[in-house]
Chains A and B, each alone.
Chain A
Amino acid sequence: MSGLKKSLLVSIWFMFLTFPIMVVKVDIIEKTVQWRWKNLILVGLGSFFLSFLWRYLLEKKEKGAKKKEMGQAEMGLIQKIFTVPRYSRPIYLLFLIFILVFPFIFSTYQTNIMISALIYVLLGLGLNIVVGLAGLLDLGYVAFYAVGAYSYALLNYHYGLGFWTVLPIGGFLAAIFGILLGFPVLRLRGDYLAIVTLGFGEIIRLVLENWDEFSFGPSGIANIPRPGLFGIELDVQTATTYIYYLMVIMALITIFVVNRLQNSRLGRAWLALREDEIACQAMGIDKIKTKLTAFALGATWAGFGGVIFAAKTTFINPASFTFLESAIILSIVVLGGMGSIVGVVLAALIMILLPEYLRAFSEYRMLIFGASMVLMMVFRPQGLIANVRRKYLYNAVQSRKTGESR
């Protein structure tokens, strides 16, 4: 009964709130006021039912939390599908096949979108090292992306270096920048770290924007060559397909490497650093070395991503590296689930592909984006797919491990 009353109050409140915009319509030319009472009823009914739904879901979530405390947690359906090998293996296989044949089924335009999505997979996984594993909130991640992109553009412009030469150089330069950023922020944590990294990202962008002799300012650099294939000139369509497969391979390598890193001595040290800095040091972990490694390795992937981005678009300017990009990459990591590779990949694909295919609703894009963020954080704060800790199984004499974590 109290639920009914609450929902009633909610609907009255919403009718009141939306009254000026939904009901009253002033026609300035005719100087008349139109009263659209029908809208009022719709808003009332809508908010009434939504509030019911909202409470039902919250209750369900609390029940789940209680069960978890009592040690009989059930995995959610999505979680189950992606983490239990019996279900996940066929899905991964199907997904891989789909990815491999993608350019033959869809148009060049679609392939291009997919390349962008894959670049974000790379960026998301890179940032996942810094934020998800080492727990260092980095809001200026896009700076390393810019470093990668500009190192290809500039090295090519001045010295004529090719894509394959610059790919490792770009990654390396980004790593150097990662360490450069790492040193001053070694002592900082949480919000303070976030602010400094945010500033760092802006500095890089502003330098690129204003230092005309170096970076050609806002007009950017055009005619960046696409990656070559043993010196063969490729037309746009073939080149796109080529970059697409390159990107798939890069993404696979990234997943492989990040997975390996996560399940290593170094990965455990990052986790410990995230969990408790003082205890981590007391366990003999060198905080400075571990943090700088996280920054450097995270930045490396952004560097690779940047080089590929420059090669793909053939034109870059500072406008591609705004704070919004950092924010999107960060939301990929958070939405996907901190430290969870599958989650981050999934989130990257959703975050980049959905807006592209929902162009019909483009006016409501940011609205939907914001609403889904809020809903996610309320109902699944651990992300789409939470990172499950790896389990080890023992025999008395010989021990072996089972169940790879993702």
Chain B
Amino acid sequence: MQPILDVQRMTMDFGGLRAVDSVDLQVHPDEIVALIGPNGAGKTTFFNCITGIYVPTAGDIYVLTRNKEKKRINGYKPNKVTELGMARTFQNIRLFPNMTVLENVMIGRHPRTRSWILGAIFRPKSTRQEEQEIIDYSYHLLQKVGLEKYVNELAMNLPYGAQRRLEIARAMATEPVLLLLDEPAAGMNPQETAELKELIQQIRDEEKIAILLIEHDMKLVMNISDVVYVMEYGRLLARGTPEEIKENPQVIKAYLGEDHDA
């Protein structure tokens, strides 16, 4: 099967610092892939490269777009990448704090809708229909992630866990083929993490969206991932199923240190 995301020997330099060093990574349809590694290993930089926030120094990124064509997306702008079918969330939540919860999700509909200045001013039938479609779709998504009771709240007034969920709903509104989650469980309590796990699995099973996530919560990672990639100092240390990774001596060394006195 063709991978949805195919990253080949991608390298990212910041001046003399090599943050990501020749990393290969594939995500196949309906897969949950986790990217783990100690702090500063270059995971978020990797994310920023494939979503177009940074332009990688070397290597290739291929995406199987929504129309099933393979496309090299190096140097594409973030909005173009989202349009092609990759949506992301952020490590430090980046919602639109002064907009309502519903409006946040409605923003996500942007790449799938068309109306512009004239449509806004004259509001013809097509625009009105589009607006209604945006509202309905967004509300539907909020129901899916369980946030419908907050519809008209400002995003900044939401509890922390709900803000994480809202970010996921907003990303899903762009109708992605691949959802990139940057530490979705960071700062969550065990209860919220369990709910998150269910949500992620539900997204994969019901929406048929593949997921690539960065996460530090090992329990969550080992529970839901099909494939785990481990990064350290910008390099790929290992890849394999959760069971393989658990047994991998190099990974244990990276996480615990050689003498087990970390």
Contacts and interface: CB of A to CB of B under 8 A. Distances in A.
Contacts of A67: none
Interface string B90-104: 100011111110110
Contact of B134 (A265, A278, A279, A283): A265
Interface string B37-81: 000000000000001010000000000000000000000011100
Nearest to A276: B94
A267 interface: yes
Contacts of A261: 117, 120-121
B121 to A, nearest CB: 5
B165 to A, nearest CB: 15
Contact of A272 (B78, B107, B135): B107
B106 A268 contact: yes
A389 B106 CA distance: 14
A32 interface: no
A282 B96 contact: no
Interface string A279-311: 111111111000001000100000000000000
A266 interface: yes
A257 B121 CA distance: 6
Contacts of A287: 77, 79
Interface residues of A, number: 33
A260 B135 contact: no
A399 B135 contact: yes
Interface in B98-116: 98-100, 102-103, 106-111, 113, 115-116
B222 interface: no
A285 to B, nearest CB: 5
Contact of A284 (B82, B96, B103, B154): B82
B148 to A, nearest CB: 8
Interface string A387-401: 001111010000101
Contact of B110 (A265, A275, A390, A392): A265
Interface in B170-205: 170-171, 173-174
B110 A285 contact: yes
B247 to A, nearest CB: 36
Contacts of B132: 399
A104 to B, nearest CB: 32
Given A283-B107, A399-B139, A272 B99 contact: yes
Contact of A391 (B53, B83, B96, B100): B100
A264 interface: yes
Contacts of B174: 283-284
B151 interface: yes
Contacts of B253: none
A283 B82 contact: yes
Query: What is the size category of the interface that chain B forms with chain A?
Result: 35 or more
A265 B113 contact: yes
A142 interface: no
A167 B120 CA distance: 22
B13 interface: no
A184 B120 CA distance: 27
Contacts of A266: 115-117, 120
Point out which of B110, B123, B131, B170 has the most chain A C-beta atoms below 10 A from its C-beta: B110
A293 B121 CA distance: 14
A271 interface: yes
B82 A280 contact: no
B136 interface: yes
Given A283-B82, A283-B170, A260 B121 contact: yes
A269 interface: yes
Contact of A392 (B88, B102, B119, B171): B102
Nearest to A403: B152
B130 interface: yes
B87 interface: yes
A155 B115 CA distance: 34
Given A281-B77, A282-B87, A284-B82, A297 B139 contact: no
Nearest to B112: A284
A279 B90 contact: yes
Contacts of B51: 282
A381 B120 CA distance: 30
Interface string A246-279: 0000000000010011001111110110011011
A265 B120 contact: yes
Given A283-B170, A284-B79, A275 B98 contact: yes
Contacts of A399: 132, 135-136, 139
A268 B103 contact: yes
A90 to B, nearest CB: 26
Given A265-B113, A271-B98, A399-B139, 14 more contacts: A257-B121, A261-B120, A265-B109, A265-B131, A282-B53, A282-B88, A283-B107, A284-B79, A285-B107, A287-B77, A297-B117, A390-B103, A391-B100, A399-B135
Interface of A: 71, 257, 260-261, 264-269, 271-272, 275-276, 278-287, 293, 297, 389-392, 394, 399, 401
Chain A to chain B: the 6 pairs with minimum beta-carbon distance, closest first: A284-B111, A264-B120, A284-B82, A275-B96, A279-B94, A281-B78
17 contacts: A261-B120, A266-B117, A268-B99, A268-B106, A269-B107, A271-B103, A279-B95, A282-B88, A283-B111, A283-B170, A284-B108, A285-B79, A286-B77, A391-B100, A399-B132, A399-B135, A399-B136
